[in-house]
């Protein structure tokens, strides 16, 4: 199994079930979207929902994917920025407990948080305050490894300027980082310089729409694997799912378009598969796409055929939507690991 490195906005998800769409309209949050907000707006949203039940989980798209990969048993690392606060500590502990190697920068800003409103149809709408996460910059990738890693490298006589990408075979990046073009460009450049296979999971459709030309350029030049849901694929290509799949497959080695309850479409060259879903009782779709990517990359990094990779993605996505938030309890992971062996 090859090592996988992720990079993304390090956030803590605050999940809040709501009874209908009215509160979304009241707060001017388009259903199903991810809206970037400042700390004042984030506090306003939380204040309006102060009487609602809440749950917390370490999140951010790439972090969810990397966490799930580690829970499957893959060797994985993560690059991000957190604050030196309670939420930051929560985020770090969550990664370490899963077995992820954290390459984290610490900031004086508050740790980012994503307030997710979940409607009865399991759709989620995000009001995201990036906080410390937005400080992640290209120069962080150019720096040497952490002090602890540096000491270990020195004691073994290794190169003290060992790069963050060294030792990894895959690099997974989330589209939500698109607010920083320089960061994404340098990251994918360095990944390719070190021979890594690059995958990107698209952000919310509205983020894709605002950065369409940039994303298409990056995908065409640097990306090997693209994950997009049907709304994101439409925003990126202007086409419906299957046509979007064909268009994306011209730009990258593997294209994946997730089509919700009907499954997903996967294409590489002339090879194409329609992947179904597993039977579940959905509660919340948060993390479904992120865990699909985890299952897919786990299979791919282990040398599995393309169809099996898609089936692993569907297995993880189906399981996580039976829980609130992007995390599953340990007993469910034990069940999943047994199922993975039989695929």
Tens of pLDDT, residues 241-291: 999 999 999 999 999 999 999 999 999 999 999 999 999 999 888 899 999
Residue 22 lies in a domain: no
Residue scoring higher pLDDT (157 or 117): 117
Domain contains 127: no
Q: Is 15 helix (H, G, I), strand (E, B) or coil?
A: strand
* The predicted structure's pLDDT at residue 144: 43
Other CB atoms within 10 A of residue 96 CB: 12
pLDDT for res 67: 97
Label residues 190-200 b or e (16+ Cβ within 10 Å = b): bbbebebbbbb
Distances (CA, A) of 325 to 17, 59, 145, 242, 250: 10, 9, 32, 29, 34
The predicted structure's pLDDT at residue 258: 98
Model pTM above 0.85: yes
CA distance 305 to 291: 18
Half-sphere exposure of 131 (CA within 13 A, CB side): 33
Query: In which band, very low, low, confident or very high, does the pLDDT at 179 lie, cut at 50, 70 and 90?
Result: confident
- Residue 117: inside a domain: no
Q: What's 220's domain CATH number?
A: 3.40.1190.20
Q: Kindly report the backbone phi and psi dihedral angles of residue 3, in degrees, each rounded to the nearest multiple of 5, phi listed first.
A: -80, 145
The phi and psi torsions of 11 (rounded to 5 degrees) equal -130, 160
Q: Is residue 17 part of a domain?
A: no
Rounded to whole angstroms, how far apart are CA atoms 330 and 298? 18
- pLDDT at residue 151 greater than cutoff 90: no
**Sequence-ordered list of residues with C-beta below 8 angstroms from that of 23, at least 6 positions apart, any chain:** 48, 49, 117
Residue 324 lies in a domain: yes
pLDDT, mean of residues 153-175: 71
Nearest to 15 by CA among 120, 112, 114, 130: 114
Could you tell me if residue 81 is inside a domain?
yes
Beta carbons within 10 angstroms of residue 2's beta carbon: 15
Is residue 39 one of the residues assigned to a domain? no
Name the domain count of the chain: 1
Range of the domain at 90: 4-8+60-106+158-342
* 3-state SS assignment for residue 236: helix
pLDDT at 44: 95
- The span from the CA of 123 to the CA of 50, in Å, is 20
Beta strands in 66-163 (DSSP E): 76-83, 101-107, 112-118, 124-129
């Amino acid at each position: 199994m090859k090592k996988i490195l992720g990079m993304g906005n390090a956030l803590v998800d605050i999940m809040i079930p709501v009874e209908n769409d009215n509160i979304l309209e009241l707060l001017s949050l388009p259903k199903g979207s991810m809206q970037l907000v400042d700390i004042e707006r984030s506090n306003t949203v939380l204040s309006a929902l102060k009487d609602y039940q809440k749950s917390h989980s370490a999140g951010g798209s790439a972090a969810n994917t990397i966490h799930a990969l580690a829970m499957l048993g893959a060797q994985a690392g993560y690059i991000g920025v957190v604050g030196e606060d309670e939420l930051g500590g929560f985020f770090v502990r969550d990664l370490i407990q899963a077995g992820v190697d954290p390459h984290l920068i610490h900031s004086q800003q508050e740790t980012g948080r994503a307030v997710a409103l979940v409607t009865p149809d399991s759709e989620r709408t995000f009001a995201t305050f990036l906080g410390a996460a937005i400080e992640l910059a290209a120069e962080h990738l150019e720096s040497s490894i952490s002090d602890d890693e540096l000491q270990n490298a020195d004691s073994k006589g290794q190169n003290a300027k060992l790069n963050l990408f060294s030792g990894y075979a895959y690099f997974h990046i989330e589209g939500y980082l698109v607010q920083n073009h320089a960061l994404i460009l340098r990251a994918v450049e360095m990944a390719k310089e070190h021979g890594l296979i690059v995958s990107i999971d698209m952000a919310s459709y509205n983020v894709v729409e605002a950065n369409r030309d940039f994303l298409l350029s990056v995908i065409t030049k640097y990306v090997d694997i693209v994950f997009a849901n049907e709304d994101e694929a439409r925003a990126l290509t202007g086409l419906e799912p299957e046509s979007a799949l064909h268009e994306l497959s011209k730009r990258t080695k593997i294209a994946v378009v997730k089509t919700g309850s009907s499954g997903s479409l996967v294409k590489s060259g002339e090879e194409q598969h329609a992947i179904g879903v597993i039977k579940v009782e959905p509660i919340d779709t948060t993390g479904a796409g992120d865990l699909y990517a985890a299952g897919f990359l786990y299979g791919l990094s282990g040398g599995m055929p393309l169809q099996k990779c898609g089936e692993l993605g569907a297995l993880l996505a189906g399981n996580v939507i039976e829980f609130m938030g992007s995390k599953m309890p340990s007993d469910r992971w034990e069940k999943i690991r047994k199922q993975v062996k039989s695929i």
